[in-house]
Structure 1
């Protein structure tokens, strides 16, 4: 965490520098008090200029006016140019660099040009006055141009910072919108899973009621299916409520809104359709190889859907970024505790000619889906080239019961 120290509401570093500049003007004014024209009265003018310079960053135009008035007093008193007149150049630099409008800097430059002529006329020397005026003009003009260059660079840096801040806000807003949309999509799909489970429970309960007297054993089996399916549906319902609660107003469409998802993207998907998915991406230009290790257990429908969507999104990203012709390996590993999905591409494809199949929202959408089932997601580049996505989804403590129709 960076701590910015301030003095009177200003950055400490800048305030300290301004104090040092003012102190230097005061010192040269006091050092020449005995020998300079005007004596202590001229020194008082120099000290006034030094005090005004303390506010050169916050009120540059006002400081320039104050220094100009004090310099005019010096001209009227015919003290001639004095060493503390360096404050005039500092004020000119400040109004060009820090002024809200460049017009103030241009007006200050015009006033400084008049001051150059007056100072040259009052400078005691043996050479012609216009030579002295030319020297003063070169110094003053150089200070004005340096200040203009610094102002331009300063405004450019500020515009870049503002643009970066705007882009960051836009990225955050897009990320929040993507999360809300993906959570709504997950909620729709989980709603379909729960609705399917409810339908199974009703069918099995009706079957058990009719078979209770004829075949008690089959009735007990049907009742067991009802209980197991109910437990599974309750767990999916908890996840559904959790998704909607996290989504807030942006993602909560209501129960009626979730139930009307009739397009193909919202139909119930299962791992049995995974070979068709791999074939579609293979036709799109990827060289897909699939491997399954371990004995696939009976997964809850919601977990099956998550595995399917993870593979779909990973293959979509591979097609978009690795390109057509890239080799992709899809590995499903089943253990007693979890199912692990790993999708690895070699990154050796060529740019796409046609758009890739649409998925969700990339890694953001995958992370949202995996989080629903308390899983973990690891994604990143490989040392050998390409990209790897690995998802680990813990299995429920109780295996899902196979549905037996009455």
Structure 2
């Protein structure tokens, strides 16, 4: 029943205030008729105007609780000074104002105003009638009746604050879910773009170099040209297969009938990568230091993609057409470096209109597994790409093999 009244008061506050004022006016008129042997209130008609004014002031208790409390307290003090008994009916306007004061303001303000109201009404009540049997009613009774609306108003304020906090948390959670969904979509788009770049750019660079070499040797070395063209077919086929595998991840749906996709590349495919570079005219030497250690799928893919992108850049920009790949296995990390010995100013990757994404993608891959990467000209000449990768990501959540679909293929 209380919740129904509260919902109605929230929907129609003006009608609720008018009904409250009328009810309070009736209560005060009834309260003015209550007396004891010691309280003999006057029977004149003019105090009724005080009751009406006090009840009318209740209309503004919702919007101006302090002013309403001051008016109703003054009216109640005038009546109790005339000898009226401070019953709960007579104090109904003051109790209503105290309720809205406690519901609309903070605890400190409510405490100060409530203490002042109780003090004034007790003083005027004791001064307006001789001490007798109704002393308890004029003292303890006044305090208890006035504290009741204060506690109810405070409870209403706390309940409203709780509901607002719940709504705020719900709105924040909804907003956070939307932001997290947008972030996941952005991360997935970035991952797909990086994977497409790494898968296609290398093969296209090698195919471009093979086609140029074949055109150059077509008239003078037909046998070598035919071999290069055969390698070109293999290069383009590999590019199509990697592109198909990457796009297949986007089309894959969970279910028992899902077609299996080929596994993500790793360092075990490094000989094929070196062979494709050799057919494009880049001589690649691979040096391994230390016993090979097992790598997590994410680190294995990252190392392969870094070497692939570095060799792609070397195929396009290295003047001496040679590159050295070093793999150094440590107790807890793998050091990968790709270098060439051309002049530093010739080997540096020229800026690409709109920005290049090869080095950026390599750096992002290294950071995604908890490693680091640097790339730039060497002091002794040439260009170097060096990465430090942990053998295992720091945590399972850091391993791209878990959430990334291309590594579960």
* TM-score band, normalised by shorter chain: 0.3 to 0.5
Q: TM-score, normalised by structure 1?
A: 0.47
Q: TM-score, normalised by structure 2?
A: 0.47
Larger Rg belongs to? 2
